[in-house]
Amino acid sequence: MNGWRGKVLRVDLTAGTAVDELLDLNTAKDYIGGRGLGIYYLNKEVDPKIDPLSPANIIVMATGPLTGTRTPTGARYMVMTKSPLTGAITCSNSGGKFPTELKRAGYDAIIFTGKSEAPVYLWVGDGKTEVRPAGHLWGKTTGETTDILLDETNTAAKVSCIGPAGENEVLFAAIMNDKHRAAGRSGVGAVMGSKNLKAVVVLGDGDVPLADPSGFKRLNAEFLATFKEATKDNPPPLRVHGTAVTVMATQNYGVLPTKNWQQGTFDDWEDIYGVTLTEKYLVKNSFCSSCPIGCGRRTKVTELGFEGEGEGPEYETVYAMGSNCMVNNLAAVTKANYLCNELGIDTITMGASIACAMELYELGKISEKELGRSLDWGDAEALVELTRQTGYREGFGDVLALGSYRMAEKYDCADLAMVSKKQEFPGYDPRGSQGMGLAYATSPIGGSHMRGDPAYFELLGVPTIVDPLEWKGKAELVKIWQDLFSVIDSAGVCVFYAVRYLTDGKLAISPSGILEFLNVTTGADYTLEELMKAGERVSTAERQFLVRAGFSRKDDSLPPRLTKEPLPDGAAKGSVCHLDEMLDEYYESRGWSQDGIPLEGKLRELGL
């Protein structure tokens, strides 16, 4: 096989064994890889009704055929399992160096089943696949764990691991690789912790075989030459200021979630802006494997009480922990981000849960006695301390560890949790970005922008601006966008690959470049129609799992604040999200019933 390595490593944690299996070529082509392989194995092997934290759940860590091939941004892997936060699936995506090393080690995926009696880690390298004891690592931060394991195995290896949050089954615990890169969303780290699996350490020793090496070399050179020409006078904003540069755009459109989504603008937005991060704390930008963009932020903070050094924060973190909590102290936001990386916590759910707690405190629903402190809007010290407490489930952190929905439900205020399917939203208010609202509600993992991000065409003009306040006609666009993101996630490239810098300096988003790279890599000879059909297959297979888990139209929802309370300020003032009106059109475009169930004809068409 080319592109695909043709092997899946199955690790039975109950028995402590690791066995190679062959990957079926037809399955690989139909589902592409990465996210596609993940849902293929979940549908095949998991009862959707199981307890996500039981031994019956599985974890699939899957690369794509372009992962590790030197395709621009070809350095992603997916972690797929049943989520303890939502009860739906996870599609938790990460880059860095670990995914490339896993692919170079010869595997398209690792499947973990069962549960170990005691903490363990998996070592793949030097011709071995071993499940090793990890009792000495339990309780260690992700950075400490990584350093110890590199000393134990090989300093050239790459590590993916959980921190104390995963061990303590915080429902939104992340899996961290290369210390600073997160498979962050939906509680994948909690599932790993429930299995007593502390880490995966891999060392590769081979390049990924290509179907057409000369064609790949030519295509790669053309892409990089175009990118270099388009950015020679103006480096990519993501390289210069990171994703937090987005703050200006969301503020200007009036969709920067503020004060637990009560507002769409933040008076102190410049204090948490990407340019401010660059000027105050940036040490240097950082790159994932084979990435020409370099959006990562290596930062250092020296302010008293918030000292630290690491990577981040990104846009979603500065929204969730900054404007959403009314915190204008970027040092505190950055420190809380470092803690999330060290403890293994999703920064979006963490910040959004604290923001929800701040509103509950303001309303008198949570007392100072419960919190052990006050919790006013903008309290930077509370942001940092509650993040730490959550990772260890200490004090009120034990409540925050449930996520905002379960916390708000505890105080009979579930409507104050800004979630879909119990997962917190990223930083784009759908009252001023209608397509985002539909994407949030219909995302297979709950509130997410990375399963299809209409902000590209509604706010950023990629490939062209589509009126963000117009809801009519958005359903078909969102459906296509979601299928495109399924292709991106399954191929093993970053979504930023799809933002293609053209020679005239304009941006465009298209699957066509991915199509050519997949064909010279795998020799699968996809047509554009076949590739988009594969993306639709993945999206629909994910919906099948959700339906069998009991999800339907009632779960494709947004909180009343977003559908009934007009934005009080900003460019989108007076707008609400027209979700119900968009859902009917969306289901029809997908070939689903009006209750959100894939119809038999569509399933046959997709081979499902």
Query: Residue 178 region, left (φ>0) first, then alpha (ψ -120 to 50), else beta?
Result: left
Q: CA geometry: angle at 135 spanning 131 and 138, to 5°?
A: 110
Question: Going by C-beta distance under 8 Å and a sequence separation of 6 or more, which residues neighbour residue 124?
Answer: 9, 18, 102, 105, 107, 110, 200, 201, 202, 203
The one-character DSSP state at 211 is S
pLDDT of residue 421 exceeding 70: yes
Distance, in Å, from the CA atom of 14 to the CA atom of 19, rounded to the nearest integer, reads 13
Distance, in Å, from the CA atom of 42 to the CA atom of 548, rounded to the nearest integer, reads 12
**Would you call the peptide bond into 468 cis, given omega within 30 degrees of 0 as the criterion?**
no
* Mean per-residue pLDDT, 371-389: 98
pLDDT of residue 506 exceeding 60: no
pLDDT of residue 508 exceeding 70: no
* Mean per-residue pLDDT, 369-380: 97
Q: At what angle do helices 434-442 and 474-491 cross, to 10 degrees?
A: 60
Question: Going by C-beta distance under 8 Å and a sequence separation of 6 or more, which residues neighbour residue 234?
Answer: 505
* Mean per-residue pLDDT, 154-165: 98
Tell the residue number behind the tokens 């979504």, with chain if given: 495
pLDDT for residue 511 = 67
* Mean per-residue pLDDT, 444-449: 96
pLDDT for residue 173 = 98
Inter-residue contact 242 to 180 (CB < 8 Å): no
Q: pTM of the predicted model, to two decimals? A: 0.97
Query: Residue 57 region, left (φ>0) first, then alpha (ψ -120 to 50), else beta?
Result: beta
Q: Go through the domains of the chain in sequence order and give each one's CATH number.
A: 7-202 (3.60.9.10), 237-423 (1.10.569.10), 428-605 (1.10.599.10)
Inter-residue contact 392 to 139 (CB < 8 Å): no
Range in 155-164, 222-231, 414-423, 560-569 with the lowest mean pLDDT: 222-231
Tokens of 140: 């260690």
* Mean per-residue pLDDT, 90-97: 96
pLDDT for residue 440 = 98
Could you report the per-residue pLDDT of 264-320, keeping only the tens digit for each? 999 999 999 999 999 999 999 999 999 888 999 999 999 999 999 999 999 999 999
Burial class (CB in 10 A: 0-12, 13-18, 19+), 426: buried
> What one-character-per-residue DSSP string does 532-582 give?
HHHHHHHHHHHHHHHHHTT--GGGS---HHHHHS---SSTTTT----HHHH
pLDDT for residue 230 = 81
Alpha-carbon distances, residue 167 vs 13, 80, 118, 411 (angstroms): 16, 18, 12, 27
Computed over its alpha carbons, how large is the radius of gyration of the chain? 22
